[in-house]
Chain A
Amino acid sequence: MIEFKDVSLVYPNGTQGLKNVNTNIKEGEFVVIVGLSGAGKSTFIRSINRLVTPTSGQLLVEDENILAYKGKSMRKLRTKVGMIFQNYNLVKRSTVMKNVISGRLGHTGTFKSIFNLYPKEDFALAYESLKRVNIEEKVYSRADQLSGGQQQRVSIARVLTQQPKIILADEPVASLDPPTSHQVMKYLKQINREDKITTIVNLHFIDMAMEYADRIIGMRAGEVVFDGPASEVTEQTFEEIYGRKIREDDIRGGKEEDEQHS
């Protein structure tokens, strides 16, 4: 579904983001990219929806080279690739509903979206998405009244409303505490299973990678240094990827608690 063919990316300041990356991600896979910060995880993920543009090679999404995309075709690509961010990136002053319905922007005409004239099905879909991440009671709250974990769930609901074929998550749990992190990962995994959405997640916690991934791709200095099923991965594999001993802050720990407050 997603195929990197000798993809490299050099940033204008000379930093090598990606270096001859070759990999193939199949439909419905749950892939976790691991690596230290600066290893190229973000660049890898952001290449897939062209938030950054690789400087050489070919990147195929559904058998089309997306590096040639511009304007309209790029927006079309982005409608089928949803993204979740470390800092949730919600419009803080808007309601949860307005944030979630903005997942439909790519599917809706400019005029209709400005005047909030979405079809009924879209509102139903948005509400359904909120229900799937158990936050439907906050539908008319302002986004800034929610906790970090709740905001991340809203941003998952936004992506669900987009009905993408691929979900990219760039360090989705780095700003959350351990129980909330597990909760967010659990929702991502569940969505991946139920909707068969190909999911690619950046993480640097090795225990979470091992727990949730089908497949782990390890990166260092812009290169893929490991690629294999999560079942084959041990702590030693991570030490090889990271190029150093595993430390305490590489492990998230904690288990999901029963939801009491949310």
Chain B
Amino acid sequence: MEMNMPPKPKRSSKKLVKRFIISISLVALYLWTFLSINDIIKWDRVFSERTITNFDRVIPKLFSPDYASFGKVMEKMVETLFIAYAGSLMAAILAVPFAFLAASNMVRNKFLNTLGKWILNAVRTFPEIMLALIFVAAIGPNAFAGVLAIGLHSIGMLGKLYSEVIESIDMHVVEAMEANGANKIQILFYGIIPQVIPEFLSYAIYRFEIDVRASTILGIIGAGGIGTLIVISVANRNWNEVGMILLVIIVVVTIIDYLSAFIRKRIV
């Protein structure tokens, strides 16, 4: 039986040359990168006896956590959770007006709309740690600085996600409410909020999950939470305690992730 094969795709010589050049340059780039590693890294120092003894001293201690410090660590972990909770709660509420401003189906004015999007973009550009540095300098090294840093940064992401939720609602419902004489505020409460609330909640919980992880690090620059403890223990070379801290962080974050996924599945 004669087989009817599809025609071979046409290859122009221009395309072939282009591909050839791209592959050659990629290979060259990798070669150059790996060859120059040797000049910078002193391999004999990396694999020296000292490294091995250092490893020997630190790693086993990390794996035998200092259970006696559990109370102290847990206290700080709870503070971390509170920072994350207060920060994301603040953001979950404050993000709403920005989200409406940035949603193109709510604000028809192009200028205001773009302004809203820009504000949210700008807020997201700053990493939490930088915001925390600013707030620590402004209001002193305490947990409130951490809350503000987390909150402000989260507004950027939540506002953006919220505004996408608002843009995806069924506008026909809004039209139906307009058609029966409802005013703008009534439309908001009857037509829009019921459509967006579950997604808003889901994103807020997801953001809390991220904020728990983010706020563990804030203490390193003095913005409260478990990070402070890490800095102190590392400075004291108290590796057993660092081990304990890591263990607590891992367990708590895992539990939070699991709970958050569970709740979010039931909401939407």
Contact = CB atoms under 8 A, between A and B. Distances in A.
B179 A110 contact: no
Given A91-B173, A93-B198, A114-B185, A83 B180 contact: yes
A91 B191 contact: yes
A65 interface: no
Interface string B36-68: 000000000000000000000000000000000
A106 B173 contact: no
Contact of B194 (A94, A103, A108, A110): A94
B195 interface: yes
Nearest to A108: B186
Contacts of A78: 178-181
A68 B178 CA distance: 17
A106 B185 contact: no
Interface string A80-124: 011101010111111000100011011110100110000000000
B179 A49 contact: yes
A92 B195 CA distance: 8
Interface residues of A, number: 32
A158 B183 CA distance: 17
Contacts of A110: 183, 185-186
Interface string A120-158: 000000000000000000000000000000000001001
A113 B181 contact: no
A51 B182 contact: no
A239 B179 CA distance: 33
A118 to B, nearest CB: 12
A159 B177 CA distance: 11
Given A89-B175, A114-B186, A105 B181 contact: yes
A89 B176 contact: yes
A114 B189 contact: yes
A94 B196 CA distance: 12
A75 interface: yes
B190 interface: yes
Contacts of B173: 89-91
Interface of B: 170, 172-173, 175-183, 185-186, 189-191, 194-195, 198
7 contacts: A87-B172, A89-B175, A93-B194, A94-B190, A98-B194, A102-B177, A113-B190
Across chains A and B, which 8 residue pairs bring their CB atoms closest together, nearest first? A106-B181, A79-B181, A89-B176, A105-B182, A78-B181, A83-B179, A89-B172, A75-B181
Interface of A: 49, 51, 75-79, 81-83, 85, 87, 89-94, 98, 102-103, 105-108, 110, 113-114, 155, 158-159, 162
Given A79-B181, A158-B180, 14 more contacts: A75-B182, A79-B180, A81-B179, A91-B190, A91-B191, A98-B194, A102-B177, A102-B190, A103-B180, A108-B186, A110-B185, A113-B190, A114-B186, A114-B189
